[in-house]
Structure 1
């Protein structure tokens, strides 16, 4: 979810692919890709160092001197830079192709000396556009590629800067990769919980007075839940794959922490599934309430019509052109002294009698 767009204007998730017939591992930048910037974090148990706006020279100078290196590349426009990063860390070209062709399904691929994790990331909980985050990690390095600035990694950076004892500085690159992936997964909780609160609010409003705009809100929220489901299920599968595989650069104790992240993803899936079920029920309830309200209106209109039918009949009869002088059967009451108030009184009695009858029948 990006900073500039809201959930209602979210662009669909699309995978950009190289031209048909291109060689595997061909890197082609998206014309809309952001300018690439590097941030290098050098980590050891005793100290750490962060270099903003880092260069390839900084990588060549510092990488071999620190136990753990975290390189964060923001923006995917500079293809030569990405290729050079791949050369320095020996990243597989097919994985780099997936980095540039953003919109990949969340997955995990294992290579000889490193792993590649592709995920969808929320870089700002106040907005609702997804962004691909690619995480490479090996024995002593972590490399992250993100499409634009903004990410949920600030808590991880603060933990790296915290005083000793510091697990992030002492447990190695696989634990740092876990912390970053865990931050990505946990970033889904605030928007999902906010959506649940919004659903509860709409439900309370509907029970009082259903409105048309509520149906639109419910459909938009269900669409968002469907998108989340499409992201979270493959993310769960990727985390399970990361735990099951035995590779030398992922320690057994780190898998325990990855298993906790897998539990978080399962919890997110449960929340989204419950939210979808509730939204479906609310949509059906809104339709039922709207139909019931329409039926009530029709019932009241029908009752009013039934009350006025005999009155209209009486007025129509008395409004005919009778001649009481020619025959005693030609409406003699037209000559009655109190004929007009008597007619009104009779019509009132008819109306009141009908209302009483409807209440007796519990139609009102």
Structure 2
């Protein structure tokens, strides 16, 4: 799962509201996707979906259905988004947080609705996440996401499934819980992929460190740090949602939110374990690499040590002294078996040194 090239280092440039702008000012990001609204109308015994819904569709059906879910994909059309906010009485500061999609996961409580900002897995292979903003009151749920693609498919199927179910029978807080729970559970996929990568690298390192393993380990560690930065505030936001005594979050829904909080805690425990494992693997890789370097240096030193006396002997016997001038000038040059004797002597010296190194356990 870990990517090590430019794709694995995707960084999003954060866009901020201009300094001095009035609170609640909505300014679209030039790179924002075009806006599309999907409206799901929910009743205990039926449901209806309107694709590419308009503000007229919303106002025409709002009073006729006990619950509606408006899903907004793309944040380019700030005029219509602002109109949606005014229609449902959403606080302007919360709408500004929707457009400035770099918020820390949080929960804000207002008089007639609750605002939850989360980070959602957008593309795990690129280590990229997007903001999902959830507004809910007694009779409505509104979600704002930056791009197409979300983990809400099972929730949509449950709403439209035949027979009675809790998603159609309860109010907006339970539907919001189901969406938040889907976002939290979607993190298990990239975290399990990281675990698989860690096990693969660990198994490979048992046979010795390989080129590229350190780069993969650092890429995984960077991914874990991103996940940690997302999940810790997510846990705090869920805890705030559960502990706050808000009339729009019933006691029955808080029981289910507690289960989602348990999932978030489990995810945090997993990434903490993975971070410790990665730290250990990085240290082990460095130790193994250093050990291999030391072995190479030791081998080269031993080879050099063996050849030093041999080089000395060759140098001595290679001096150009004429034995005819003096009997002290290299008399070995006249020996009948001088050349093979010299070779045997040098081999004996090399073997003796080799045996000594083995005896001292240097080899």
Check whether TM > 0.5: yes
In the other structure, the counterpart of 1:209 is 208
Q: Please give the residue correspondences for 1:1-364 in structure 2 after superposition, counting only pairs within 5 Å.
A: 8-12=8-12, 14=14, 16-364=15-363
Contact 1:6 1:129 in 2 (8 A): no
Contact 2:39 2:68 in 1 (8 A): yes
Contact 1:125 1:187 in 2 (8 A): no
Structure 1 residues 278, 233: closer, same or farther in 2, change over 3 A? Answer: same
> Hey, what's the Cα distance between the residues in 2 that align with 1:354 and 1:299?
14
Give the CA deviation at 1:13. Answer: 6.5
Moved more, 32-41 or 328-337: 328-337
> Hey, what's the Cα distance between the residues in 2 that align with 1:332 and 1:156?
100
Give the CA deviation at 1:126. Answer: 4.8
Structure 1 residues 35, 136: closer, same or farther in 2, change over 3 A? Answer: same
> What does the per-residue CA deviation read over 1:278-305, in whole Å, with 9 as the maximum and x for residues that have no partner?
1111111111111111100000000100
TM-score, length basis structure 2: 0.96
Provide the secondary structure at the position in 1 that maps to 2:141. Answer: strand
Q: Which runs of 4 or more aligned residues in structure 1 lie more than 3 Å from their structure 2 counterparts after TM superposition?
A: 123-127
Residue segments in structure 2 that go unaligned for 5+ positions in a row: none
> Hey, what's the Cα distance between the residues in 1 that align with 2:167 and 2:126?
29
> Hey, what's the Cα distance between the residues in 2 that align with 1:244 and 1:131?
26
Give the CA deviation at 1:211. Answer: 2.2
> Hey, what's the Cα distance between the residues in 1 that align with 2:125 and 2:171?
33
> Hey, what's the Cα distance between the residues in 1 that align with 2:259 and 2:126?
27
> Hey, what's the Cα distance between the residues in 2 that align with 1:156 and 1:10?
30
> What does the per-residue CA deviation read over 1:82-139, in whole Å, with 9 as the maximum and x for residues that have no partner?
1111111111110000000111000000000100000100134555311000000001
The CA RMSD over aligned residues, in Å, is: 1.4
Provide the secondary structure at the position in 2 that maps to 1:218. Answer: helix
Provide the secondary structure at the position in 2 that maps to 1:117. Answer: strand
Provide the secondary structure at the position in 1 that maps to 2:122. Answer: coil
Provide the secondary structure at the position in 2 that maps to 1:104. Answer: coil
> Hey, what's the Cα distance between the residues in 1 that align with 2:96 and 2:117?
12
Give the CA deviation at 1:321. Answer: 1.7
How many residues align? The count is 359
Contact 1:68 1:173 in 2 (8 A): yes
